[in-house]
Structure 1
Amino acid sequence: MALVLVTGASTGLGLATAAELADRGHDVVVHARASVRVDGLDILDRMRGVVLGDLADPEETVRVAEQANAFGRFDAVVHNAGTMNDPHTMPVNVLAPYLLTASMPLPGRAVFLSSAMHLSGRPDLDPVLSGRGGSYSDSKLLITAFALALAARHPGTRSHAVDPGWVPTRMGGSSATGDLVEGHRTQVWLATAPEKDIEPRSGGYWHHRAVRRPHPAARDAEFQQHLLQALHTRTGLALPDADAAG
């Protein structure tokens, strides 16, 4: 069975992802912003553990990584946490997944939550470097590019981006037309399915277990490199060596 970390797992897709992984017998560590977010959740007794911290705060994000590292190297990390709150969009949706990846041993698999809205995003790195501006769509383009960059540069980690659809979570709203069940099943599958069942084995952009074509910038090697450099510059942390996931 796999050891899996799921961020933003107190509600919505993250909670559904963690619950299904646990139902399938995997060891699941759930992340929440604060203990009050998970107090009383009836799934906690089925979880391997809980890590806490606000992913909008880089220092707290690094502490989340430190807590997670106490469980050992993860077989998979599902970077589910996200927000549409403008001041926190880039920190939570882009910087936090990078910081966690740079602060932990590379997992066997990494799954990053994207969105179809990334297709209207701008390949603009200024919000990463300056910490100002950038839309939700921009953030999802950047995290999709990061997922594919990780796949290209670290073949020991199977890295994918997922569009879960517009689903009726707290962020998606009650008018969302997507299927909440289908919205999390691809993440569970990518995190735990036999590698022979996943094609491409790394570097895919998925929607409901079907490969889709991402924004051209997300697959552009030069843009990926500029993004990694910008994230390194902004955070002061580099990704682990490629063989760290072996």
Structure 2
Amino acid sequence: MNVVAPYLLTALVRRPARLIYLSSGMHHGGRPDVRGRDWAGRRATASYWDSKLFVTALTFAVARLWPGVSVNAVGPGWVPTKMGGPGAPDDLREGHRTQDWLATSDDPRARTAGGYWYHEQSREPRAAARDERFQDELLSELASFTGTRLA
């Protein structure tokens, strides 16, 4: 499941000044339900959409729990990669620029926390990603699965 590694790396790292999570606009189609998920990925219990909703919710949970850290999610767009396919409509060069900008820019917008970004523009995420109860359920499930709590 796409959220386990970002969760575990976040839980184990010393708090940085900035964190950027790779999400997708497809998170809007995800189901905000953590029950019965196979976090090990041995069987399909969640869709790609679900996993990207989980990553986006993780972003907002970390932003809430770690004040002073610039924590944001990025949807790079549908870019022509092996996964996206040759007909993807977004520009591959644009796919990484927002991450670079959030990681290095002194622009005050890039220094914020709790945002969802697409091509250096703030976008509204699915409301479920901002639901603190859903975030806490997700963190609890991931802590239980990994044996590591987010400090």
Q: Same fold (TM over 0.5)?
A: yes
Hey, what's the Cα distance between the residues in 2 that align with 1:96 and 1:129?
A: 10
Residue 53 (structure 2) aligns with: 141
Deviation at 1:169, TM superposition (A): 1.2
Aligned residue pairs total 148
Residue matched to 1:236: 147
1:187 partnered with 2:99: yes
What does 1:154-233 correspond to in 2, within 5 Å? 154-194=66-106, 196-198=108-110, 201-233=112-144
**Cα RMSD (Å):** 1.5
- 1:28 maps to none
Q: Rg bigger for which structure? A: 1
**Equivalent residue for 1:150?**
62
The Cα of 1:103 is off from its aligned counterpart by 1.5
How far residue 228 of structure 1 moved from its aligned partner, in angstroms, is: 0.8
Higher relative contact order (CA 8 A, sep 6+): 2
Query: For 1:149 and 1:128, how far apart are their aligned partners in 2?
Result: 21
CA contact (8 A) 1:185 1:208 kept: yes
The CA deviation at 1:230 is 0.8
Shift of 1:130: 7.2
TM-score (norm 1): 0.57
Structure 1 segments unaligned to the other structure (5+ residues): 1-89, 241-246
Contact 1:94 1:142 in 2 (8 A): yes
1:172-196 CA-to-partner distances (Å, cap 9, x unmatched) read 1111111111111000000111152
